[in-house]
């Protein structure tokens, strides 16, 4: 099993995988499983981030993690914009299992105001974009601090995306081989 299964029960996180349903920028489900997986090294960093976020009074909410190559191809077909979506011919760090999209959630169950919805493909999604109010900048910096301190690096164009350093040294994960490791009743599309 090349990836570690992450659940709300096992990891003290909220999970709402945006591509498992239609609530994403494509308006359609990109994959049909609600399962969340990360490479063991990314999962180890995530554990640190979970504790760090709790130290600020927040919980991490995971929006996407491992992404099968087939899903990356579907995203690229919907939005072939290399500033925000990795060309599947080169491979996404999500398909390596070492990238995670996430936000912060307060004790009231509401996500913090990050200025844009996740996957907004405009400069407003860039870190430190000047048009945002101070409260939004602070919210983004909280997430940035938690993730950097835990061993991730950020993506300057996407406030929600974090990945391991030197991510491209990790191999792309063959989803067909991975699928055979899944609990029965689940499938990757
Ligand atoms: Zn991402």
Adjacent-strand bridge partners of 161: 101
pLDDT of 34 higher than 80: no
Q: What is the pLDDT of residues 146-157, one digit of tens each?
A: 999 999 999 999
**Are residues 16 and 62 in contact, defined by beta-carbon separation less than 8 angstroms?**
yes
Over 61-122, what HEC string results?
Answer: EEEECCCCHHHHHHHHHHCCCCCCCCCCCCCCCCCCCCEEEEEEECCCCCECCCCCCCCCCC
Structural tokens at position 61: 């909410």
Neighbours of ion ligand 1 (CB under 5 A): 99, 101, 161
What's this model's pTM, rounded to 2 decimal places?
0.92
From the CA of 20, how far away is ligand 1's center (Å)? 14
- d(CA 129, ligand 1 centre) in Å: 18
Using only C-alpha atoms, the chain has a radius of gyration, in whole angstroms, of 16
Reply yes or no on whether the pLDDT at 185 is more than 90. Answer: no
- Active site amino acids: 158
C-alpha closest to that of 68 among 24, 44, 35:
35
- Please, what is the Cα angle at 159 between 10 and 84, to 5 degrees? 105
Residue 182 has pLDDT above 80, yes or no: no
Give the chain's largest Cα–Cα span.
48
pLDDT per position as a tens digit, 43-84: 999 999 999 999 999 999 999 999 988 888 888 998 898 888
Closest CA to 15 of 79, 103, 89, 80: 103
* Ligand 1 midpoint to CA 103 (Å): 11
Query: Would you give the DSSP letter of residue 59?
Result: E
What's the gap in Å between 133 CA and the centre of ligand 1?
Answer: 24
Could you report the per-residue pLDDT of 84-119, keeping only the tens digit for each? Answer: 888 988 889 999 999 999 999 999 999 999 999 998
Q: Which domains are delineated in the chain?
A: 4-179 (3.30.1380.10)
How many angstroms does the Cα of residue 163 sit away from the middle of ligand 1? 8
Query: By the 8 A CB rule, do 1 and 64 touch?
Result: no
For ligand 1, the distance from its centroid to the CA atom of residue 158, given in whole angstroms, is: 8
Check residue 183 and give its pLDDT: 63
């Amino acid at each position: 099993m090349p990836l570690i299964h992450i659940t709300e029960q096992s990891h003290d996180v909220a999970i709402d995988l945006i591509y498992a349903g239609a609530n994403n920028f494509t308006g359609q489900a990109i994959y049909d499983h609600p399962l969340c997986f990360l490479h063991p090294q990314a999962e180890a960093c995530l554990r640190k981030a979970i504790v760090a976020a709790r130290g600020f009074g927040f919980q991490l909410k995971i929006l996407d993690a491992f992404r099968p190559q087939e899903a990356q191809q579907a995203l690229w077909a919907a939005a072939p914009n290399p500033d925000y979506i990795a060309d599947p011919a080169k491979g996404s760090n999500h398909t390596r299992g070492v990238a995670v999209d996430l936000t912060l959630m307060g004790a009231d169950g509401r996500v913090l105001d990050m200025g844009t919805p996740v996957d907004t493909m405009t400069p407003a999604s860039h870190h430190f974009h000047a048009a945002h109010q101070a409260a939004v900048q602070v919210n983004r910096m909280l997430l940035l601090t938690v993730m950097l301190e835990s061993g991730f690096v950020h993506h300057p164009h996407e406030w929600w995306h974090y990945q391991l350093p030197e991510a491209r040294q990790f191999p792309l994960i063959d989803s067909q081989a991975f699928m055979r490791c899944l609990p029965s009743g689940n499938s990757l599309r």
